[in-house]
Amino acid sequence: MDQPLLELKDICYSYHSLEGETIALSHISFQIQKGEFTAIVGPSGCGKSTLLSIIAGLIAPESGEIIFHGDSPPQAAQQPCTLTPSCPRIGYMLQHDHLFEWRTIYQNVILGLEINHMLTPERLGRVTQLLKDYDLYKFRDKKPGELSGGMKQRAALIRTLVLEPELLLLDEPFSALDYQTRLSVSSDICSIIRSTGKTALLITHDLSEAISLAGRILVLSKRPATVKCDIPVRLTLTDDSPLASRNAPEFKDYFNQLWKEISDENHRQPEFSGKI
Amino acid sequence: MKTTDSLSFQEKYERDHRRHHRMVLLARTFILIIFLLLWEGSTRMGYVDSFFFSSPSQVLMCFLGMVKDYSFFTNTGITLLETIASFLLVLLISMLSATLLWHSQKCSEILEPYLVVLNSLPKSALAPLFIVWLGTGINTIIVAGISVAVFGSVINLYTGFRQADEEKIKLIYTLGGNKRDAFFKVVLPGSVPTILSNMKVNIGLALVGVIIGEFLAARRGLGYLIIYGSQVFRLNMVITSVIILCVIAMGLYEGIQMLERCYQNRL
């Protein structure tokens, strides 16, 4: 088997306050192969976003190891609640597009290049190409307020893609959109990710979205989160677009299986949360 | 010409909008004219003593006299210069201080009570100290102007910086940026409305501080004319100077508002 793109070994993380310690993640281990589209689902507040922040290198785990391409990236500062710059090989898409309203779409899209001092003619040419490919070129001088939710989310994806990350972390990027836009945007973004051959890790609350987009689903338990089960998704369809996937005969079985795993978790009392 | 019935809803809306603005402008002018007429009339008819209360015609004569002997230009010029210098220094000091406080949470926690106390202190109480420390002259007056506005300005700007969107700051880190990038790409551009509204308050406060300074430590300027006029009972000079001050305050405020409009149009 090939060397995994990303490997997490025994990742643990706790939040600290004067009220006590809250264990968010407990001994999380899994691997992600290159080109894989993996979804992570789990009960609300189980620590999914914390896990993504750790993978991105924004916060440091209390223990455990993250191995990227066989070597450990520089660890984030060991200071609670202190963000550190993300690993450049990892792209991160947040829940909202967070386009800056004082910048045009073009200026928003090149933000990452500006920060990383990578404003070369080749890269800017690639920005223009991406804007053309995803139907945003004629809106490049508009402010974000003039675009629809779906267009803004596409611009946010381009902002992440221009840095050419090897791994894309998607932290519920469609949750702020209405249902109709969400279906079409998730479909668009999935095809963009597939066409660019990126490895992606998606966090979502929407089980249907996870089944239709991902090739593999990790279910996290209630806090303190551990990997409860790892479900490979195999749908027998010739058209593997996310919208068509929802009509696959296996779709319902996967949905029921995931639903059972999540509802079991919701009925379980938290193992521990409080002062130690 | 279109009749009322043939106007579209949009045209009706625009017509009503224009009418409303005309009415507001007319009412404002009307109030001013009535006030001036009542003032002039009551002094001419002897209801009010013009020695103490002056009158619009005497104020006009005094103003023309000041223009003729150039005292209007020298005194207004010096007050304006001191006010703008104080204002710009307040802006610079408060921006630098608020940036430092934003950068260091520890520093802001340590300095917070000092800032609150200094902001609450009546700054006119400090003016005599400035005279002892710096002597009389333009420096003392500029420092007096700064002292009135600077502490409140630091607190307001720092509060504005702290309210920057945490998620946008996180985005900067996800793109590989650091705290400096977060400040220059998110905090500072996102705080422009706060900075502009803070500037509107500061320009007025700087003028207040400069006038306090001129009361105590000047031989030129509108504040000096006011205090000198009151001491020698030349109340025409006092009231003329106060009216010039009103116009200056309005002009400076309007200048900042124009800046704000320019910024809003760019958005």
Q: Alpha-carbon distance B237 to B223, whole Å?
A: 11
ipTM reported for the complex, 2 dp:
0.84
- Give A275's pLDDT tier (boundaries 50, 70, 90): very low
Farthest CA pair distance, chain B: 78
At B208, which CATH number?
1.10.3720.10
Phi, psi of A23 (to 5 degrees): -80, 120
**Domain with B15 in it:** 1-48
In this structure, the answer to whether residues B197 and B177 fall within a common structural domain is yes
Q: Which residue of B has its CA nearest to A111?
A: B175
Smallest Cα distance from B102 to chain A, Å: 14
Closest CA to B167 of A49, A47, A141: A49
| Token pair for B46 | 């002897």
In this structure, the answer to whether residues B112 and B74 fall within a common structural domain is yes
pLDDT tens across A107-122, in order? 999 999 999 998 999 9
Q: Which residue of A has its CA nearest to B192?
A: A102
In this structure, the answer to whether residues B62 and B152 fall within a common structural domain is yes
Q: Is the pLDDT of residue A1 over 80?
A: no
Q: Which residues of B touch A152 (CB under 8 A)?
A: none
Q: Alpha-carbon distance A262 to A253, whole Å?
A: 14
pLDDT tens across A19-44, in order? 888 899 999 999 999 889 999 998 88
pLDDT at A87: 62
A170: which residues sit within 8 A by CB, 6+ positions away? A93, A189, A200, A201, A202, A203
Interchain CB contacts (distance < 8 Å): A and B: 60
pLDDT tens across A198-247, in order? 899 999 988 888 998 888 999 998 888 899 889 998 888 767 777 777 87
What's the pTM value of the predicted model, to 2 decimals?
A: 0.83
Closest CA to B75 of B234, B221, B174, B179: B221
Chain B interface test: which of A87, A113, A115 (most B C-beta within 10 Å): A115
In this structure, the answer to whether residues B95 and B163 fall within a common structural domain is yes
Q: Is the pLDDT of residue A270 over 60?
A: no
In this structure, the answer to whether residues B255 and B225 fall within a common structural domain is yes
pLDDT at A269: 52
Q: Alpha-carbon distance B19 to B13, whole Å?
A: 10
In this structure, the answer to whether residues B112 and B164 fall within a common structural domain is yes
In this structure, the answer to whether residues B176 and B191 fall within a common structural domain is yes
Domain count for chain B, please give it: 2
pLDDT tens across B19-38, in order? 999 999 999 999 999 999 99
pLDDT at A268: 63
Summarize the confidence of residues B150-155 as an average pLDDT: 95
Element (H, E) at B235: helix B235-266
